[in-house]
Amino acid sequence: MNDKKLILDIMKKAGEPLSAGKAAELSGLDKKAVDKAFAEMKKDGSIVSPVRCKWEPAKK
């Protein structure tokens, strides 16, 4: 499973917006890997920020 898919699954299970640090903690990934995945997901629109510094899956 790639990092982006894992992070999206973690976000959906959490049921609340997550910071990069919390997503890293829950997924077991390195925070740098999460930051990189977040940057890519922001560009492609798969995550949105409802509150500052926290992210959740986009509702498509």
The DSSP element (H or E) to which 49 belongs, if any, is strand 47-51
Predicted confidence (pLDDT) per residue in 1-48, tens digit: 699 999 999 999 999 999 999 999 999 999 999 999 999 999 999 999
Topology classification of domain 3-57: Arc Repressor Mutant, subunit A (1.10.10)
Domain locations along the chain: 3-57
> pLDDT value at position 59?
84
Alpha-carbon gap, residue 22 to 28, rounded angstroms: 10
What amino acid is encoded at 14 in this protein? Answer: A
